[in-house]
């Protein structure tokens, strides 16, 4: 009996050297039955370990038949569908969650995140950047950046526009999967590998990087940097900022708890607990000295903002008379506008 | 004689259950002549009231002929053109401005706004969210979100990219109408239902929600939230924020008067009168206490910003020595850079 | 012997009146040999000066042959490729860098910038706005704004979506050229005429206008306004703002030196020297009075920010206890996160 971390059938794009630019896995899954593994051994000579198995159209049809016989109806359906593709086909097996060693493995893990099969920070992505090529994402699919100029000229000459939407190592999520119960007003701002909880709305000014996202219901009009996870029923105002783990200067992973409200154009350089509010336009950096105000409105203490990391029920504001950053206990529960969350 | 609020011919998209995803009305109009109503009664069995009348291609051709005979040349031309469409056809009649009860009615009202036939807040949109489905807006048109995954896989297998540009209840305006005399550097950021006055430029960082917009000439590099209307010759700096009526905490409708300047990364939680300036980077929330500075530079009073709602000729800034938010009378008229407004 | 400023072969789009909407020059160059000029005289009756020479497909083939014979292999290849195009063909010669007088000349200069053949502020663009038409940039190419409505309706009737991506005088850069060694997460936010140095990453929130850009390695998550140039190894944080020369109120050209860091949601209204830091969320306007803090943490002086224009090794922050904007000597060299710059 072989324990399996993840398995998926896919089709992808390679450059003229046969290197992978991207892989689309329509139905990735955690785990796989022994029968599935045995079929892979028999049809694709799977020899164990984490492996990306190339498959011909004919092999994919055989997989479909054998999956069907083995009672793996969903896999059979996907395999049958994919077998019609003229683009390269793969069956990717991850026995364990070790760091990826090929682009198709990275893509599988990014799919697991965006399909909500694993949460941010729970799958190993170490070294992924070096495995991904810089790709031109176009209306004619993924194109190797070194092959772009010729393709653009060729398209022009043939009277077509080759629309280059992005030049990046990561594609946009929505061209791979749109999980249930979300709205994404502008898909160019959510990378594959984002985790969007059910009930999340990403407005036009919202942004979500990979390995980051929202637990559940959320109204996101600000930027969720790589590694940042936002709790249930929190609201990120327009243009607000969360410092990413990639942005240097801070080894602490930023997160936002439940029922928080970060105001428009505000920002945080510390993790927030639950029911915290940051006033619109105020940026809290880890090194900011903030004044603790007690229930009587008196100054109780001065601390660095980083000392408040992860604490709940705080309200951050800048005193508009004396310019000091103050923190109060947030008595008013955040009342999320239900009309807003249901619709907007 | 039947008074008519609005009338339009259109073609749209339905999901596999026959529910409307969207409707495109190329030439919506306010009002309609009695002759038009009579023709609708005769050809489409229009029985009165606000109604969305389905039409076959043949019926649309008959409408074209009868409109032509009745001297309704523009309607005749539109009907003739539409009659070639294989997508569902409609004639939508709104006798009055009651709240919409179907998606095609909502779409007609959003068109009226974007065609500048009605101004924000002057047409009834109550309950519209519940009438609109969450749609995947793709390069192959509008797709029901529940039908997307299969369409994506099918496109891949056939060697095409199904590009998903947005997953939202609202489409972008520019795919329905681009009113005269505007520039929109990035159309993904202007929703159908926006009202853009002639002479408006929406730069890449600009954003305009539905039932919101600009009266006339304007340079918009910030965000115009739902319900916000901006007066003639005002300038919204890059990344600036206007609090929306949907964003909670504030029942007051935000607006911006004429010849205002909201600086880059600034924001307002109160309506502004005419010729007001908000310094770059300063967020004025309704509850901010601000210091009124008189002509001699002396502190005259302290008030909450909400008490200054709608007042003209104010300059808001944060004193860079003592951190206080101050408001002065704005003596320097805003000189909009004409080169900028003509071109940029 | 004729000195030549620039020469390029191209193909472009005209409206129904024969006016140029845009021109694509796949391989623009600085200078041109006397042989090339002589061939243009012979084949296209080039008579000298800055001129946009129309060419038929047949003439383009003749050019290809003669360029080949003259040892101009690259030009020959481009000409041969272009000769297959059914769109209008041009050969544009700029003898000198005088201000452009036609749209194809403007397009050539914008190409020179984006191909890194000239740096921002080193080519004459005076009067360019008036030479460019407002264009609808669509998935079916450039369309005159006055011809859009009819094209949209026609596409709908034929069952296609005419996707309007932008309504603007400038196209996005990436549909014309993607220079070597850059990533642009969202190409809609970089205009043709931007200059992106090798090693530049423009993240989703980044923006670069024409005649502006980066010298070399850079991580850009903020907005580079028209005319702003950013030095090697500088970092513009998410949503930060640089005041543009078009935005009025300031005749000084804003620039950013080497190894600077502008924090998220911050902004500058003055040029920065090298190794400067602006704290996240802080906007420095030219008129802000800032307090100079000496090595002992004592107040040394008060000056207007504009007096610090171009000075190096400064750290700008807002004191979080008393609200004053302070400037310190920036002792900690900016350590750009190499992992970030290599990949992100």
Number of folded domains that form chain B? 3
Which residues of A, range 5-34, sit inside 8 Å of B by Cβ? 11, 24, 26
Chains touching A (3+ CB pairs < 8 Å):
B, C
User: CA–CA separation, B167 vs C260, rounded Å?
Assistant: 38
Please tell me which residue of chain B has the smallest CA distance to C305: B320
Contacts of B247 in chain A (CB under 8 A): 237, 264, 337, 340
Complex prediction ipTM: 0.93
Residue B17 counted as domain residue: yes
pLDDT digits (tens, 9 = 90+) for C29-68: 999 999 999 999 999 999 999 999 999 999 999 999 999 9
pLDDT at res. C294: 86
Burial C176-208 (b: 16+ CB within 10 A, else e): bbbbeebbbbbbbbbbbbbbbbebbbbbbbbbb
Please name the member of C129, C156, C241 whose beta carbon is closest to the beta carbon of B342: C129
pLDDT of residue B46: 98
- Exactly one of A72, A105, A215, A221 is catalytic; name it: A221
Least confident of A244-248, B270-274, C174-178: A244-248
Residues B204 and B218 in one domain: yes
What digits encode the pLDDT tens for the residues C236-295? 999 999 987 655 445 678 999 999 999 999 999 999 999 999 999 999 999 999 999 988
Contacts of B279 in chain C (CB under 8 A): 283, 285
**Quick one: pLDDT at residue B248?**
47
Q: CB count, 10 Å around CB of C209?
A: 27
Q: Using CB atoms within 10 Å of the CB of residue A134, give its burial: 0 to 12 exposed, 13 to 18 middle, 19+ buried.
A: middle
Query: How far is it, in rounded angstroms, from Cα A212 to Cα A194?
Result: 5
Who has greater pLDDT, B246 or A46? Answer: A46
Contact B156 A318 (CB under 8 A): no
pLDDT at C253: 86
pLDDT at A2: 66
Give the pLDDT confidence of C64-95 residue by residue, as tens digits: 999 999 999 999 999 999 999 999 999 999 99
Domain contains B131: no
The confidence score (pLDDT) of residue A295 equals 83
Residue of B81, B85, B279 with shortest CB distance to C285: B279
pLDDT for residue B246: 52
How confident is the model at residue B61, as a pLDDT?
A: 98
Residues of chain A with Cβ-Cβ distance to C82 below 8 Å are: 153, 157
pLDDT at C250: 52
Which of C51, C72, C105, C221 is an active site residue?
C221
Residue B221 annotated to the active site: yes
Q: The whole model's pTM is what? A: 0.95
Q: Which residues of A touch B170 (CB under 8 A)?
A: 185
Question: pLDDT-derived band of residue B333, with 50, 70 and 90 as boundaries?
Answer: very low
- HSE-up (13 A, CA, CB side) for residue C174: 26
Shared domain check, C326 and C185 = yes
C4 in Cβ contact with C32 (< 8 Å): yes
Question: What tokens were used for C130?
Answer: 């008036």
pLDDT tens profile C212-241: 999 999 999 999 999 999 999 999 999 999
The nearest CA of chain B is from the CA of C75 a distance in Å of 33
CB B198 within 8 A of CB B181: yes
pLDDT at B80 over 50: yes
Query: Which residues of chain A have a pLDDT value below 70?
Result: 1-2, 245-251, 330-344
CB neighbour list of residue C331: distance below 8 Å, 6 or more residues apart: none
B100 and B141 part of one domain: no
B49 and B198 housed in the same domain? no
Are both A227 and A206 inside the same structural domain? yes
Task: Supply the CATH number for residue B148's domain.
Answer: 3.30.60.70
Mark whether C178 and C318 lie in a shared domain: yes
Per residue in A206-232, pLDDT (tens digit) is 999 999 999 999 999 999 999 999 999
Tell me the shortest Cα–Cα distance from C285 to chain B, in angstroms: 7
Is A157 within 8 Å of C184 when comparing Cβ atoms? no
Residue B161 belongs to a domain: yes
In the predicted structure, residue B292 carries a pLDDT above the cut 70: yes
How big is the CA angle at B7 (ends B2 and B11), to the nearest 5 degrees?
145
- Cα nearest neighbour of C156 on chain B: B85
Q: DSSP character for A162?
A: -
The pairing of strands B183-184 and C194-196 is unpaired
A101 in contact with B at a CB cutoff of 8 Å?
Answer: no
Q: Are residues A272 and A153 in the same domain?
A: no
- B225 close to A (CB below 8 A): yes
Residue A95 belongs to some domain of the structure: yes
Mutate: best of C238, C241, C307, C320, partner B, most B CBs <10 A? C241
- Decide if pLDDT at C22 tops 90: yes
Contacts across the B-C interface (CB distance below 8 Å):
149
| Residue C13 structure tokens | 């789009």
Q: Which helix (H) or strand (E) holds B150?
A: helix B148-157
Whether B279 contacts chain C with CB within 8 A: yes
Instruction: Examine the domain organization and report whether C149 and C238 are in the same domain.
Output: no
- Shared domain for B187 and B302, answered yes or no, is yes
Q: Are A164 and A217 contained in the same domain?
A: no
Mean pLDDT along residues B235-250: 78
* CATH code of the domain covering residue B261: 2.160.10.10
Mean pLDDT of B80-99: 97
Query: Which residues in B lie closer than 8 A to residue A340 (C-beta atoms)?
Result: 246-248
pLDDT band at B343 (very low <50, low <70, confident <90, very high): very low
Please, which chains are in contact with C (at least 3 CB pairs closer than 8 A)? Answer: A, B
Instruction: Look at residue B130 and tell me if it is in a domain.
Output: no
Smallest CA–CA separation between B22 and chain A, in Å? 16
Q: How do residues B149-199 score in pLDDT, each as one tens digit?
A: 999 999 999 999 999 999 999 999 999 999 999 999 999 999 999 999 999
Q: Which of chain B's residues have a Cβ under 8 Å away from the Cβ of C269?
A: 280
Which entry of B51, B221, B259, B326 is annotated as an active-site residue?
B221
Q: Which of C193, C205, C267 to mutate to test the interface with B (most CBs of B within 10 A)?
A: C267
The Cα C285–Cα C267 span in angstroms is 8
Interchain CB distance below 8 Å, A265 and B241: yes
Does C211 reach chain B within 8 Å, measured CB to CB?
Answer: no
- Confidence (pLDDT) at B252: 77
Give the closest of A85, A185, A239 to B156, CB-based: A85
Q: Do B241 and A280 count as a contact with CB atoms less than 8 A apart?
A: yes
pLDDT digits (tens, 9 = 90+) for B57-78: 999 999 999 999 999 999 999 9
Interface test with A, best of B133, B150, B163, B185 (most A CBs within 10 A): B163
pLDDT band at B250 (very low <50, low <70, confident <90, very high): low
| Mutation choice for B interface testing from A165, A265, A291, A340 by most B CBs within 10 A | A265
Of all residues in chain C, the percent with pLDDT exceeding 70 is: 93
Within this chain, do residues C32 and C56 fall inside the same structural domain, yes or no? yes
CA B112, chain centre distance (Å): 9
CA C269 and chain centroid, separation: 20
The answer to whether the CB of A236 falls within 8 A of the CB of A219 is: yes
Tokens coding A306? 């980083």
Nearest chain C CA: its distance from A317 CA (Å): 11
Over range C316-329, report the average pLDDT.
96
Residue A1 placed within a domain? no
B102 within 8 A of B131, measured Cβ to Cβ: yes
The verdict on residue C1 lying in a domain is no
In a domain, B296, yes or no: yes
How far does C73 lie from chain B, in Å, by closest CA?
Answer: 35
Chain B residue with minimal CA distance to C134?
B183
Q: Is B77 on the interface with C (CB under 8 A)?
A: no
CB B246 within 8 A of CB B261: no
The pLDDT score that the predictor gives to residue B294 is 87
Residues spanned by the domain of A163: 136-168
**Which uninterrupted H or E stretch holds C329?**
strand C325-329
Nearest to A343 among B164, B167, B169 (CB): B169
Which pair of tokens denotes residue B283? 């967020």
Residue B8 confidence (pLDDT) above 90? yes
Are A18 and A149 within one domain?
no
CB < 8 Å from A in window 176-195 of B: 188-189
CATH number at residue C80: 3.30.70.2010
């Amino acid at each position: 009996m072989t324990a399996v971390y993840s398995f998926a059938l896919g089709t992808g794009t390679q450059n003229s050297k046969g290197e992978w630019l991207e892989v689309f896995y329509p139905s990735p899954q955690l785990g796989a039955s022994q029968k599935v593994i045995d079929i892979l051994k028999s049809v694709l000579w799977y020899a164990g370990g984490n492996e990306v198995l190339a498959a011909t159209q004919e092999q994919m049809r055989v997989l479909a038949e054998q999956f069907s016989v083995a009672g793996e109806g969903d896999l059979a359906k996907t395999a049958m569908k994919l077998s019609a593709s003229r683009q390269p086909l793969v069956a990717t097996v991850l026995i364990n969650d070790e760091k990826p060693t090929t682009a198709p493995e990275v893509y599988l893990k990014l799919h697991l995140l965006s399909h909500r099969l694993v949460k941010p920070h729970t799958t190993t992505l170490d070294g992924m950047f070096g495995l991904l090529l810089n790709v031109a994402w176009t209306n004619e699919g993924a194109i190797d950046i070194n092959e772009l100029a010729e393709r653009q000229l060729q398209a022009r000459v043939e009277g077509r526009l080759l629309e280059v939407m992005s030049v990046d190592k990561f594609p946009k999520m929505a061209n791979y999967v749109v999980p249930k119960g979300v709205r994404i007003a502008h898909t160019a701002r959510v990378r594959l590998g984002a985790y969007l909880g059910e009930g999340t709305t990403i407005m036009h000014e919202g942004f979500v990087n990979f390995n980051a996202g929202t637990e559940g219901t959320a109204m996101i009009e600000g930027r969720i940097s790589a590694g940042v996870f936002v709790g249930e029923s929190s609201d990120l105002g327009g243009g607000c900022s969360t410092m990413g783990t990639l942005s240097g200067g801070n080894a602490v992973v930023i997160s936002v708890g439940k029922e928080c409200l970060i105001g428009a154009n505000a920002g945080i350089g510390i993790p927030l607990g639950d029911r915290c509010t940051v006033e619109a336009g105020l940026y809290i950096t880890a090194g900011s000295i903030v004044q603790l105000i007690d229930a009587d409105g008196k100054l109780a203490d001065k601390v660095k903002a980083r000392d408040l990391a992860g604490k709940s029920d705080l309200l951050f504001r800048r005193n508009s008379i004396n310019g000091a950053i103050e923190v109060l206990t947030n008595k008013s529960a955040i009342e999320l506008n239900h009309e807003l969350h249901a619709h907007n």
